[in-house]
Chain A
Amino acid sequence: MQEGRTLSTREINRDLLRSILESPRWFWPVVTVLGIILLVAAIAIGIMVNRGLGVTGLNRPVAWGFFITNFVFWIGISHAGVMLSAILRLAKAEWRRPATRAAEVLTLFSLMTAMIMPIVHTGRPWRILYWVFPYDFARGIWPNIRTPLVWDPSAILTYLTSSTLFVIIALIPDFAVLRDHTTGVAHRVYTLLAMGWEGNARQWKLQITAGVLLSALILPVFVSVHSIVSWDFGMAVAVKTWHSTVFAPYFVVGAVHSGVSAVAFVLILLRWCYGWQDYIRHEHIDALGRLLIVVATGWFYFLIMELLFGMYGREADELAVRGLQFTQWPYNAWFIVFVVTTYFIPVILWLSRAWRRNLWIMSIACISVNIGMWLERFLIIVPGLVNKQVFSFTWADYAPSPFEIIIVGATFALVTMLMLLFSRVFPLVPLYDVKEGDILKTEVKVGRRTVPATFRED
């Protein structure tokens, strides 16, 4: 550990503010392409709203398809922020420093994107208002507070609020640095955002205390969000394979798996895009790789529990859904791809230290995880609904329409664009955290060897 050279404050400021103070040549062309993709998706949504959900592949009994799969997927990605930032901050893991901000910001944008999906899925987005403001009491259009579908937005909005606060608190010292490095309108905006930060001892103490408190408080929220998303399914006894007690931890571990993989990939991209080789080093990606082996194996254990206990009951209708998942085309093929890409490919790659430190291989592994995790959600949602049940009078298979594919694809463009735009105005690697890490570095002489060491913060 502790590779790379110790940098001066001036060098750190210059390097990490480069994304804000200078505009790389690739930046605006990439944003434009992403914007075009979003425009196409907006048109697709417009047509869908105009013509109705008939343009999608949704039907009876498959009322939840690509959109809800994508909703669960982005909620999962959002778990990386807290996992890396709060837990590693509380555990005082030194290698967390360059990764926390990108993780937190990814949380925000993936949460926002996730929230869009159920709204799009309604087909008539304005009808969300009926739920928010039940306008017509006589018709009984009240939200049912006993359903997880109501707990969901509550938990997600709480998570979004606390994550935003978490990011802002951590950004304050960096706002002050930006205030001191800018002029004109930008200077005035950063001055406002820095809230009078001078970096005195009292301010640091308050900032650190707030960070630790928020870290501890946000953890239950983080766990609750994906647990409640899992209970959207788990509470439904009618759809076989959904009513499983393991769903909550299974979903949370899966979310951490996909989220941390996504953060690792984002860090690799940032390193390439902004030349942050001195900050996002191989040791950090290596540490993420090792963490991911543990997370992936934990996730695999829950997957086995979920599958085994699905069959343990020997209930005919549950076995029928499992049969659909494991043996019938195309679900069987997707199932194999899902397991191989989520666990076997990445974990085999992560087992080698040299491969964990190879950024190309790490990128492949992290993308592989997220392909698999998207499929996982699809394979939980759709086969359970496709399966004909006792009182289904009509049923059909599900295939996504081009509208769904475009809209779902565009969510990736949306998150990428938001991350890029964020990097233009705020540093994606926390300056003060990196500086603090450098201060705490030291060495210990053991025999004839000099060993890297760290001052412990407590």
Chain B
Amino acid sequence: MASSGEQQHGGGHHAGMWVFPVAERVTAEVTGRTFAFPSGYKLALGVAGILTVLGVIGFIIKLTSSGFGSPGPWGYYAGIFSFIFMATGAAPLVAVAFRFTKSHWRRPLSRVSELFALVGVVNVILFIPLMLALPPILNPAAQGTELEVRRTLWFEVPIGAPHWWDFLGLVGLAVCSLAILWLSAMPDMAQARSSATGFRRALYGLLAGSWYGSKRQWIHQKAGLAMLGAFYFMLLVFVQFVFITEYAMSMVPGWKDSVLPPMYTVMSFQTALSLILVIMFVMRRWGGYAEYIGVSPFWSASKILLGLTLLWTYHLFAFFITYWYGRLEFEQNIIRYLFTEPYLVLFLGNFLFSFVTPFLLLIWNPLRKSDWGPTLAGCFALLGAFLFNIRTFTAAFNTGDHYEFALSRVPAAVLPDFGDILIILGGLGLAALVYLLAAKLIPNMSIWEVKEGAKYQKMDTLMKADYLVLAKPE
């Protein structure tokens, strides 16, 4: 428990900004909360479970009614997969990145972010139907002509491309993020195994069996986290690049957009950070973690979120102006198709929620210095990302002839059917269900990092005013 004095929390305009957990109590309190099952949590679990079941029903409806003969019916499935992958795939990176920059404020959010490793396994499973829905690179109807292949990253069509390479990438991401989670949670599980009971005791004993907290082990753990983090970052960027190119760009004839993969990656960072802010807000307000999560992580993350919001818009503008100014007919058709005609409403919603609202909220200082301000901006950003993915993938999967050299007409928009709606709900439900279960399996706050942070910060006086003092040991 944190000490309750005003001085400890920062006085004056610093009030509530920082929290000062007592290192000796962190393990017992965090594990106690992890093992508890409050009614609100049970309700969330139930809702997520019901949504998952609906999703399975939707999938069966889609499979029986459409099959995998053509990609069109799977556009919404691809959209919801991409949204989940975008948010949850990049989520473990949040811990990695801010650990790398040695930001103290990251400590309470590290585990929140790393727990998404378990959702990575869901991503792998959800990806399998997409492998079946993607049309082959070789055009079966036009061998020996100019249109014998559709545009693709895999120029000479190596064995298994693109399906199996994408699949391997996703598996690699899942394995790597699980390794990060395991390595990061090992000290916590070693501490918690004495107080855990039942299957958790066995699990912690198994996963943290050899951890004694020697200096050598700490050095290895930190080096391992750094190396795995760097590898995960590179692999994620690569997989995102392949996925957005292969499952969106190459499906639209003539869409050659070198800024799309960076834009997708930037948006994934924005979405992941937003998701983590929302979870932290829930934990702080209703999860009993107010003594561990101050306003400071929201304040610091909000600046990053603002930067990412601007960066996404900049990439979008770089694409738009190049195509718009070029005045090439097929490029104009692509703009009309994806932005200004059939999917205009989705695009406007995407732009409003991914840029306008987060930007207007986050440039306001008092709002950034609250816990709800950045969270609200994050909610909007999540909604914007959802619309982006639905728009992009539904449009890409429904362009008609994917082997054309350029888009010569503007196809109509495709609205979701009943199965699509169930699939969307189910996808979200499944991701939430797995995360909720993961949060009860492993301590959902990085105990060792919080304890470490408690030693490196204090309030002190400088020229008659109180300030936070942060130690930088390395």
Contact = CB atoms under 8 A, between A and B. Distances in A.
A206 B211 CA distance: 54
B220 to A, nearest CB: 19
Contact of B470 (A248, A302, A306, A456): A456
19 contacts: A231-B321, A237-B326, A244-B258, A245-B257, A245-B260, A245-B322, A248-B259, A248-B314, A249-B262, A249-B314, A305-B259, A305-B262, A309-B256, A313-B151, A314-B151, A314-B155, A454-B469, A454-B470, A457-B467
Q: Which 4 pairs of residues, A with B, have the shortest CB-CB distance?
A: A309-B258, A246-B258, A444-B471, A248-B318
A129 interface: no
Given A305-B262, A455-B462, A245 B472 contact: no
Contacts of B327: 237
Given A223-B314, A231-B322, A312 B473 contact: no
A454 B319 CA distance: 42
B319 A237 contact: no
B92 to A, nearest CB: 19
Given A245-B319, A309-B257, A444-B456, 6 more contacts: A227-B314, A231-B321, A314-B151, A444-B469, A444-B471, A454-B470
Contact of A446 (B237, B328, B455): B455
Nearest to B260: A245
Given A244-B258, A308-B153, A446-B473, A451 B456 contact: yes
B262 A302 contact: yes
Interface in B419-474: 455-458, 460, 462, 467-474
Interface residues of B, number: 41
A25 to B, nearest CB: 40
Interface in B312-369: 314-315, 317-319, 321-323, 325-328
Contact of B262 (A227, A246, A452): A246
B2 to A, nearest CB: 18
Contacts of B469: 442, 444, 453-456
Contacts of B471: 443-444, 446, 451-453
A177 B435 CA distance: 59
A223 B259 CA distance: 16
B151 A312 contact: yes
Interface in B243-277: 245, 256-262
B470 A243 contact: no
Nearest to A307: B258
A247 B322 contact: yes
A247 B259 CA distance: 8
Given A309-B257, A312-B151, A314-B151, A455 B468 contact: yes
B326 A235 contact: yes
Interface string A221-252: 00100010001001101000001111111000
A249 B256 contact: no
Interface of B: 151-153, 155, 237, 241, 245, 256-262, 303, 314-315, 317-319, 321-323, 325-328, 455-458, 460, 462, 467-474
B80 to A, nearest CB: 26
B259 A249 contact: yes
Contacts of A246: 258-259, 262, 318
A311 interface: yes
Given A301-B237, A444-B456, A454 B472 contact: yes
B318 A227 contact: yes
A226 to B, nearest CB: 11
B154 to A, nearest CB: 10
Nearest to B233: A297
Nearest to B102: A1
A2 interface: yes
A245 B473 contact: no
Contacts of B257: 245, 309
A452 B102 CA distance: 14
Interface residues of A, number: 43
Contacts of A249: 259, 262, 314-315, 318
B472 A2 contact: yes
Interface in A1-15: 1-2
Interface in A286-327: 301-302, 305-306, 308-314
B327 to A, nearest CB: 8
Contacts of B462: 439-440, 455
Given A305-B261, A308-B258, A309-B258, A247 B472 contact: no
Interface string A426-458: 000000000000011011101101011111110
Contacts of A457: 467
Nearest to A302: B262
Contacts of B259: 245-246, 248-249, 305
B322 A235 contact: yes
A453 B470 contact: yes
Contacts of A305: 241, 258-259, 261-262
B256 A313 contact: yes
Contacts of A302: 262
Given A444-B458, A452-B471, A453-B470, A244 B262 contact: no
A439 B241 CA distance: 46
Contacts of A314: 151, 155
Given A231-B322, A246-B259, A249-B315, A1 B472 contact: yes
A309 B317 CA distance: 18
Nearest to B323: A245
Contacts of B151: 312-314
Nearest to A253: B262
A306 B259 CA distance: 8
A312 B327 CA distance: 20
A244 B472 contact: no
Contacts of B470: 453-454, 456
Nearest to B299: A458
B282 to A, nearest CB: 26
B333 to A, nearest CB: 15
Contacts of B152: 312
A282 B152 CA distance: 47
B314 A235 contact: no
B98 to A, nearest CB: 13
Contacts of A234: 322
Contacts of A456: 467-470
Given A246-B318, A446-B456, A453-B471, A237 B328 contact: yes
A266 to B, nearest CB: 25
A442 B303 CA distance: 26
Contacts of A244: 258, 322
A14 to B, nearest CB: 25
Report which residue of B256, B261, B460 has the largest number of chain A beta carbons within 10 angstroms of its beta carbon.
B256
Nearest to B254: A313
B391 to A, nearest CB: 18
Interface string A350-383: 0000000000000000000000000000000000
Nearest to B261: A305
A243 B326 contact: yes
Contacts of B467: 455-457
Contacts of B303: 90-91
B267 to A, nearest CB: 14
A245 B457 CA distance: 45
Contacts of B458: 444
Contact of B318 (A237, A247, A311, A312): A247
A451 B474 CA distance: 9
A248 B321 CA distance: 10
A235 B328 CA distance: 11
B318 A453 contact: no
Contact of B472 (A310, A439, A447, A453): A453
Nearest to B13: A458
Contact of A245 (B153, B258, B328, B474): B258
Nearest to A457: B467
A302 B315 CA distance: 12
Contacts of A237: 326-328
A439 B315 CA distance: 41
Contacts of A308: 153, 258
B472 to A, nearest CB: 5
